[in-house]
Amino acid sequence: MSKKRVLLTGAGGGIGRATAKTLAEAGHQIYLVARQQSQFLEDLRLYLIGRNCYLGTRYIDFLDADWSQCVFTDAELDELRFDSLVNNAGLADRVAYSQITEDRWDRVFDINLKAAMFLSQNLIPSFIKHGGGSIVNVASVSGIKGGVFQVHYACAKAALICLSKSLSKIYIGQNVRVNAIAPGLVDTNMIDEEIALSAELGASLLDSLPMKRMATPSEIGHVIEFLISDKSSYISGQVIEVSGGQQ
Ligand SMILES: NC(=O)c1ccc[n+]([C@@H]2O[C@H](COP(=O)([O-])OP(=O)(O)OC[C@H]3O[C@@H](n4cnc5c(N)ncnc54)[C@H](OP(=O)(O)O)[C@@H]3O)[C@@H](O)[C@H]2O)c1
């Protein structure tokens, strides 16, 4: 199994940190993309350096109007030689359908969809130049089943799944695999913020889950590692639900 050189967005978040550690445990090397510096990110950076798995860090705010103009240059990509991309950055926004403004819609689409679209466009030519690659897009079960309180988020994740399938069709002949994963509820800050809105909501969310618990971030990270690695070499254009038996 070859070791991969992975660019990971949302690296300072719950799933991002767990994924980076899982990738490192499997011997892959990781380049971190984060919105901003944080203690979580610094701890992760030191962890990766300690395992000799650290490739670098870049700060990108996907809400900055011109971020897509300043991603990686050809010279940087030749040096970094990425062969994998995990589009994990995301923003949830629990709000009733009637309260979704154009601004909220745009923010959610910019972070959950546009970031993956233009980072993929930036990196894929370099994957092809160096023999191929793999992309994993972190979507959500709400992108498959719809969502009552986050219609814009569900739509963005559905589009992210469609982006994954479309890029797979375009690039599979050039040895670039593209897949999506669709987690259910995962125990991260994103869910803590939702549960903080109401204790009643938190209890009913947990009770609605078949396993009566959320996924741990590592349970998501392991599936991402599988899809990045050569263990999944014949899998592309798929969406894997990691949702503890939700139907
Ligand atoms: N937790 C769940 O139940 C769940 C379920 C299904 C899918 N997901 C998806 O899983 C992915 C990771 O989420 P998580 O649960 O780990 O939540 P999280 O801890 O809130 O992580 C989200 C990450 O996205 C980054 N991000 C947010 N806005 C950004 C921006 N403007 N520019 C660049 N990066 C930005 C955050 O950076 P900062 O830390 O700097 O804000 C953070 O690292 C997301 O795509 C999410 O939609 C999560």
Taking only the tens place, the pLDDT of each residue in 140-171 is 999 999 999 999 999 999 999 999 999 999 99
Q: Which two tokens stand for residue 187?
A: 């125990």
pLDDT given for residue 119 in this prediction: 98
CATH number attached to the domain at 5-189+217-240: 3.40.50.720
Q: In the annotation, is 153 catalytic?
A: yes
pLDDT given for residue 195 in this prediction: 72
* Whole-angstrom distance, CA of residue 180 vs CA of residue 241: 9
pLDDT given for residue 91 in this prediction: 97
* Whole-angstrom distance, CA of residue 75 vs CA of residue 66: 20
Amino acid at 93: D
Q: List strand residue ranges (DSSP E) for the chain, in order.
A: 5-9, 29-34, 54-59, 84-87, 133-138, 176-183, 239-242
From 70, 152, 67, 147, select the one nearest 106 (Cα to Cα): 152
Question: Which ligand 1 atom minimizes the distance to the CA of 187?
Answer: 1
- Distance (Å) from CA 89 to ligand 1 centroid: 5
From 180, 152, 185, select the one nearest 167 (Cα to Cα): 180
**Best substitution site from 190, 219, 243 to test ligand 1's pocket, by max atoms within 8 Å of Cβ?**
190
Confidence of residue 48 (pLDDT cuts 50, 70, 90): very high
Q: Which two tokens stand for residue 34?
A: 């984060």
pLDDT given for residue 206 in this prediction: 86
Q: Which two tokens stand for residue 193?
A: 């913020």
- CB-CB contact of 184 with 139 (8 Å): no
* Torsions phi, psi for 215 (to 5 deg): -70, 150
Amino acid at 230: D
Mean pLDDT of 187-195: 83
- Strand order in 176-183's β-sheet? 54-59, 29-34, 5-9, 84-87, 133-138, 176-183, 239-242
From 160, 137, 162, 140, select the one nearest 149 (Cα to Cα): 140
Query: Residues lining ligand 1, CB < 6 A?
Result: 10, 12-16, 34-36, 60-63, 88-92, 111, 138, 140, 183, 185-186, 188-191
**Residue 85 has what DSSP assignment?**
E
pLDDT given for residue 162 in this prediction: 98
Residue ranges per structural domain of the chain = 5-189+217-240
The DSSP line for 94-138 is ---GGG--HHHHHHHHIIIIIHHHHHHHHHHHHHHHTT-EEEEEE
The answer to whether residue 118 scores a pLDDT higher than 90 is yes
pLDDT given for residue 102 in this prediction: 98
pLDDT given for residue 224 in this prediction: 98
* Whole-angstrom distance, CA of residue 217 vs CA of residue 55: 22
Q: Which of 56-60, 198-202, 230-234 has the lowest mean pLDDT?
A: 198-202
Out of 47, 59, 97, 153, the active site residue is 153
- Distance (Å) from CA 91 to ligand 1 centroid: 5
Question: Which ligand 1 atom minimizes the distance to the CA of 183?
Answer: 6
